[in-house]
Amino acid sequence: MTESVSTRLDVVTLAVLKGRLEQIADEMDATLYRSAFNPIIAEARDACHGVYDAISGDTLVQGTKGLPIFVGAMSFAVRSVIRKVAAEGGLQEGDTFLFNDPYDGGTHLNDFRLVRPIFRAGKLFCWVASVGHWLDIGGNVPGNYNPRATDSHQEGVRFPPVKLIRAWQMQQDILDILAANSRVPQSNWGDLNGQLNALDLGEKRLIELLDDYGDARIAAAFAQLADRAEALMRAEIAALPDGRYSFDDFLDNDGVKDEALRIALDLTIAGDRLTLDMSRSSPPCAGPLNISIATTVAACYVALKHAFPDVPANAGVLRPVEVIAPPTTLLGAEAPRPVAGYTETILRLIGVIFGALGKARPATATAAPFGTINALALSGQRENGTRWVMFSFFGGGLGGNPATDGLHHANNPISTATIPPVEILEAAYPVMFTQWALRPDSGGAGEHRGGVGAVYEIEALAPGRTEIALLGERGRFAPFGVAGGADGALNRFTWGSAGETPPMASKIVGVSIGRGERVRLETPGGGGWGDPAARPLHAIARDIRLGYVSAEAAARDYGSRAS
């Protein structure tokens, strides 16, 4: 929006416009999911779309299906484009910027952002944007999750904001560079076209809405929705007791040095203001567990939206919130620190926010979820000599809470993504899943038990060697229980006929298996909530009957009354 508006909308009109705007973002999401080549976007929905403010880049609208972590980071991405335009000028209708810079509004190199201006009567009105996880963008390790990377150049090719399209004219030289720097350029080409189609649809739908209601009324809706989110967020904060609440958790290591990394939070509530101070966290690390300030703020946005689900999803959420993550920590890292494993760090960050809020309001404290995506890449050559790269992430158990047990085999709280189906992965790549099952005894015991994790076993079918890269977590620091609940099980990964395990527990690269050999991933369960002695006997008996808990583990965790 280019100017303030005095138009005031009634609540019914505002609700209608909120629905219409969210529908635009949802349609953009659906367009990309249907057209992407890469299963991580098409099936797992590792993408999102939104509408952003013309001047500030603030999030105006996000869809209900895209990844929330992307929506939070995208405002920084749009601001990057705004700065570029301010410095260089030349913005025209039909321009589209492309980039993946993790230090300038990005997350990691696989996540490509497209940003397009929307003009009305020759003036910039707002921006629409798309982000999706591309399968491979060069670097030392297929799929780009390199657990041994010590700078971003070892993770892939980094693009600052560049004009992929100038006044509706595609820049072929940019496409050529993209294609030359991927092991699977055809997959990236399909994903790029899917994102462009989504932007086209979003622009069309937004212009239709503006024509129906007028620019002033839509601008007023943007402003009122943000003000409403701010007011509700302030009310939620004000309802919490003032004070300082601290919580710490740890990452196993950074993949390079076998030393634990502290993620520390001091959360301060003062009236209707909230401060999230991460200054006590470990310094920037040698390996790829660093994150930029944009990613840190985005993770805080996601955590707060989980904690306060009734607050509308836009930039108003963060107005009463101060985030402190100095560059002296791994949560405010700067170029060229490696960041490929950002997912592991933001999961721990979201967890400590949940932990600190649980101290502020114990009645709603939730135990830790499994807390790792287990980014696994398998790669090699097919019978015909062509390259293949399979990347996927995997599920685990969520934490118990005051109302219920944790969910089994769920996704992490960073996203609304789904775990790619086994049928799709087997159809796309020369692999066979010989096991895809729940993992007994992996959820933490408690009055409300943690959800159980999963067991995945994958057999290589390709000729020659299949290369393995895993970037995971929770191999040494289990998902924590709360209110007397027990921790969930640790992550475990093995490969080959000898069942080798990673020296660093949750990260490995530079190993391979032959045709007919397997990798096996056993994911963590969630932490338990409440004293296990308070768990009802009928719930324990049901857990044993359904195979969630073995009789031996039940006797150990719940005592003689479980036998």
Q: Are 75 and 59 in contact (CB under 8 A)?
A: yes
CA geometry: angle at 36 spanning 30 and 42, to 5°?
Answer: 65
Question: Over pLDDT 90: what percentage of the chain?
Answer: 90
Residue 4 pLDDT level (bands cut at 50, 70, 90): very low
CA geometry: angle at 260 spanning 158 and 337, to 5°?
Answer: 15
In angstroms, the CA 462 to CA 415 distance is 32
The kind and range of the H/E element at 544 are helix 537-546
In angstroms, the CA 184 to CA 386 distance is 9
Predicted pLDDT of residue 5: 46
Residue 6 pLDDT level (bands cut at 50, 70, 90): low
- pLDDT tens-digit readout, 215-260: 999 999 999 999 999 999 999 999 999 999 999 999 999 999 999 9
Closest to 107 in 3D by CA, of 133, 138, 82: 133
Q: Are 466 and 142 in contact (CB under 8 A)?
A: no
Residue with tokens 């790029």: 192
- pLDDT of residue 68 exceeding 90, the answer is no
Predicted pLDDT of residue 442: 98
Predicted pLDDT of residue 457: 98
- pLDDT of residue 2 exceeding 70, the answer is no
Distances (CA, A) of 261 to 27, 112, 443, 501: 40, 28, 24, 21
- pLDDT of residue 374 exceeding 50, the answer is yes
Crossing angle of helices 68-88/293-307, nearest 10°?
140
- pLDDT of residue 165 exceeding 80, the answer is yes
Q: What would the two tokens of residue 113 be? A: 């952002």
Lowest-pLDDT choice from 70-79, 113-122, 412-421, 544-553: 412-421
- Mean pLDDT across the chain: 94
In angstroms, the CA 396 to CA 524 distance is 6
- pLDDT tens-digit readout, 352-365: 999 999 999 998 89
Q: Region of 333 please: left (phi>0), alpha (psi -120 to 50) or beta.
A: beta
Residue 19 pLDDT level (bands cut at 50, 70, 90): very high
Distances (CA, A) of 7 to 224, 314, 485, 524: 10, 20, 52, 52
Predicted pLDDT of residue 459: 98
β-partners of residue 270 are 273
Over residues 308-335, the mean pLDDT reads: 94
Backbone angles phi, psi at 264, to 5 degrees: -120, 140
- pLDDT tens-digit readout, 474-521: 999 999 999 999 999 999 999 999 999 999 999 999 999 999 999 999
Torsion on CA atoms 89, 90, 91, 96, rounded to nearest 10: -110
- pLDDT tens-digit readout, 37-52: 999 999 888 999 999 9
Q: Are 359 and 247 in contact (CB under 8 A)?
A: yes
Half-sphere exposure of 445 (CA within 13 A, CB side): 21
Determine what percent of the chain falls in helix, strand and coil, rounding each to the nearest 5: 35, 25, 45
Q: Three-class SS of residue 137? A: coil
Q: Which strands form 454-460's sheet, in the order they lie side by side? A: 431-438, 454-460, 518-522, 492-495
Residue 443 pLDDT level (bands cut at 50, 70, 90): very high
Over residues 375-403, the mean pLDDT reads: 95
- pLDDT tens-digit readout, 262-285: 999 999 999 999 999 999 999 999
